[in-house]
Structure 1
Amino acid sequence: MTNRLKVPSTARLVLEQAIRLYTSPLEKAYVNAIDFSEISRLSRDLTRAYPPIADTVYYRKLAVREVIRQSMDQHPVLQVLILGAGLDPLSLYLLEHYPGRTSRIVEVDNGYIEEKKKIYEEILHITGPLHFLRCDLTDTVLLEAMLKQAGYVPDEPAIIVFEGVIHYISNESFVQMMQLLVTPQQHHLGVLDFSLALEEVPDNFLVYHRNTVKVIETHLNSIPNLNTRQQIRDLVARFGRLEYFEPLCDTERKFTGTNRAFHQPGHGIVEMAVFSL
C-alpha cells in the first residue's frame, strides 16, 4: 500500500503493543496498511510508566482468542459481535482460522470504523459475513436497531467480545448493553476485560498500576473505570452468569508454561471475565 492510513496514537495504541500477535498473512497485510511512522507519545509514556504493557495487551488478546477457540469447539457455527472493535483485526483472525464457521461477524465502534472497512475491502479484498457499524455503545436504542439491520439473530448462539469497553464507560452503561443482548437460554458467551481497582492489586505492582492510571488520565483526559472482582461479579449477575475469572498470570502460564511477567492475581492491570448471557 502506497498511502498508509494515518490514525491518532490512541487509536493505534493496541496495535503497537500487540504487534507480535499479528502473524497470519491477512493480519500482516492489515498492519502494513497502518502508518506507524510517527512515534506514539501515549505508547511511549505508557511503556515508561508500566514496562510490561505490551505483555498485558498480548496476553489479554490471547485470552480472548482462547475463549473463541473453546466456543468454536462447541458450536458448528457462531455469530461474533465485537463491541468496541477499534483497529484490532480480530475479524481477520476469525476468517482465517475459522472459515465458514461464522454466520456473521459484526464490528461496532464509534471511530475509524469506515477507515477500517476500507482497508478490509480495498487492500485485503475481504469477502465474507462482515458488518461494520459506527455506533456509540452507550446508545443501546441505536445499537439494537443497527445490530438487527446487520442480521444479528438473538436466537442463535454468539460470542460477544467486550474487549477494551468497560474501562471507558460506566458500569450502568455496560449493564444496559447486557440487557440488550441477554437471551432466555443464556446461550451467548461474553468475554470482558476490566481494569482492577487498587485494592485488588498486590503491593509490588501498585506503582505500575498508579502510574498507568495517571498516564491514561493525562492523555485521554478521562478517569478510567476501575472495578473489584466482586463488582464485576455483581454486575454480570444482573443479567448473566459468571463462568470464570482469568488473571493474566494464569493466561501467561497457560500459553508459556511459566510466569515471567505476571506472578500472581492482580498483576497486569487488567483481568478477564467470561460469562454466559
Structure 2
Amino acid sequence: MTQKLKVPSTSRLVLEAAMPLYTSPLQQQYIEAIDFSETSRLHYELKRQYPLVIEMICLRKQSIRGMLRERIPEFAGQQVIMLGAGLDPLSLYLLENYPAQISRIIEVDNGYLEEKQRLYHDILPGDHIIRFAKCDITDTALLWSRLLENGYREAVPAIVIFEGVMHYLSNNAFLQLMHLFKTPYKKNQVLLDYALSEEEVPAKFLPYHQGVMRILEAYIGMPLNVNNRADMAGLLYQLDAILETAEPLYETEKKVTGSNHYFHAPGEGILEMVSFRI
C-alpha cells in the first residue's frame, strides 16, 4: 500500500471510536492504510465537549457484532447486506470469524466505495465473497438492480445491517427501503440503531443529548431523523415485522462490559439498538 486513504470527518470519528475493536490481522492492516493525520472541527468538537459519543459509537458496533453472533448460526450460507456501509471494516471481521457460514457480503454506499474496494483488494488479493455496489440507497429501483447484479438471491436468508444510517433518512424512505427485503416467512433479519427523540431522554442527560445533536446537525446542514419507541413500534407494524431486540444503550453497555460506567438508564446514549425479522 503506497498511499494512505484520507477519510471524511464523520468516517474518521467512527473509525477512531471503534479502534479498540479492530484487533484482528485483517482489520489492523485495513486501519493502517487509513490516514488519520488531518484534524476536523467535527471530530475535535465532539471529542472535546461530548466524549461519551466515542463510547456510544463503540457500544453500537459491539451491539451489532453481538447480534451477528446470535444470528449467523441460525442459517447456513447466509447473505449479509450492508446498507450505507461506510468505511468500517466489518466485512473483514466477518471473513475472519465466520468464513464458512456466509455465502456473500454486499456493501452498499454512495461514497468512498471504490477506495474501500481497493484497500480490500490490497489486503485480500483475488476473488472473495465481498461485493461492492455503489448506489444511493434511497433509490430503491437502482438499489435492487445493484443487489441482483452482485449476486443477491431472494431465496437465501439475509442479514441486513443498517448501522448509523437511519438518522439521515426519513421514515418513509426507511419503509420503502425495508420493503425490498420482506419475505413470506420472515427469514431476513435487520440490525439497526436509531436516534432517540427528546421525550425519551432523562432530564439529567437531556443537555448532553441536545448538545451532540446540535453539533451533528450543524455539520450535516439538516435535522437528524429522531424517533421515540412508539414511532419505531409503528414502523415495524407497517412492515409486519417481528421484533427480536429492542435494547437501550445502557443495556448494551452492561452486556458488553458487565457494568454501567457511562450510561445508566433508558434514553441515555443518544441512540438505541433494534433488530427485527422481515
Residues 123-149 of structure 1: per-residue CA shift (max 9 Å, x gap): 443642111011001000000111111
Q: 3-state SS of the aligned residue for 1:181?
A: coil
Whole-Å separation in 1 of the counterparts to 2:268 and 2:127: 40
Residues 83-142 of structure 1: per-residue CA shift (max 9 Å, x gap): 010000000000000012111000000100110000000244364211101100100000
Gaps of 5+ in 2: none
Per-residue deviation at 1:243?
A: 1.8
- Match of 1:242? 243
Whole-Å separation in 2 of the counterparts to 1:149 and 1:226: 33
Tell me which amino acid in the other structure corresponds to 2:251.
Answer: D
Whole-Å separation in 1 of the counterparts to 2:194 and 2:92: 24
Report the more deviating stretch, 143-152 or 47-56. Answer: 47-56
Whole-Å separation in 1 of the counterparts to 2:21 and 2:43: 17
Map 1:216-255 → 2, pairs under 5 A: 216-239=216-239, 240-255=241-256
Whole-Å separation in 1 of the counterparts to 2:13 and 2:244: 30
Whole-Å separation in 1 of the counterparts to 2:178 and 2:2: 42
Per-residue deviation at 1:49?
A: 3.1
Map 1:107-126 → 2, pairs under 5 A: 107-125=107-125
Q: Given the alignment of the two structures, is residue 199 of structure 1 paired with residue 203 of structure 2, yes or no?
A: no
Tell me which amino acid in the other structure corresponds to 2:76.
Answer: P
In the superposition, the TM-score normalised over structure 2's length comes to: 0.97
- Match of 1:258? 259
- Match of 1:54? 54
Gaps of 5+ in 1: none
Q: 3-state SS of the aligned residue for 1:85?
A: coil
Whole-Å separation in 2 of the counterparts to 1:179 and 1:49: 39
Whole-Å separation in 2 of the counterparts to 1:42 and 1:140: 31
- Match of 2:106? 106
- Match of 2:273? 272
Please identify runs of 4+ aligned residues in structure 1 that moved more than 6 A: none
Map 1:148-163 → 2, pairs under 5 A: 148-163=148-163
Whole-Å separation in 1 of the counterparts to 2:124 and 2:72: 25
Whole-Å separation in 1 of the counterparts to 2:123 and 2:40: 24
Tell me which amino acid in the other structure corresponds to 1:93.
Answer: Y
Tell me which amino acid in the other structure corresponds to 1:37.
Answer: S
Whole-Å separation in 2 of the counterparts to 1:81 and 1:171: 20
Whole-Å separation in 1 of the counterparts to 2:229 and 2:135: 28
**Same amino acid, percent of matched pairs:** 49
- Match of 1:70? 70
Residues 29-85 of structure 1: per-residue CA shift (max 9 Å, x gap): 101111001123211111233221111001100110111101122222211001010
Tell me which amino acid in the other structure corresponds to 1:94.
Answer: L
Residues 130-185 of structure 1: per-residue CA shift (max 9 Å, x gap): 11011001000000111111111111111110101110010000000111111111
Map 1:157-176 → 2, pairs under 5 A: 157-176=157-176
Aligned residues between the structures: 277
- Match of 1:188? 188
Q: 3-state SS of the aligned residue for 2:253?
A: helix
Whole-Å separation in 2 of the counterparts to 1:167 and 1:145: 25
In the superposition, the TM-score normalised over structure 1's length comes to: 0.97
Tell me which amino acid in the other structure corresponds to 1:12.
Answer: R
Q: Given the alignment of the two structures, is residue 136 of structure 1 paired with residue 136 of structure 2, yes or no?
A: yes
Whole-Å separation in 2 of the counterparts to 1:237 and 1:145: 27
Q: RMSD of the alignment, in Å? A: 1.2
Q: 3-state SS of the aligned residue for 1:160?
A: strand
Q: Is the 8 A contact 1:29 1:124 kept in 2?
A: no
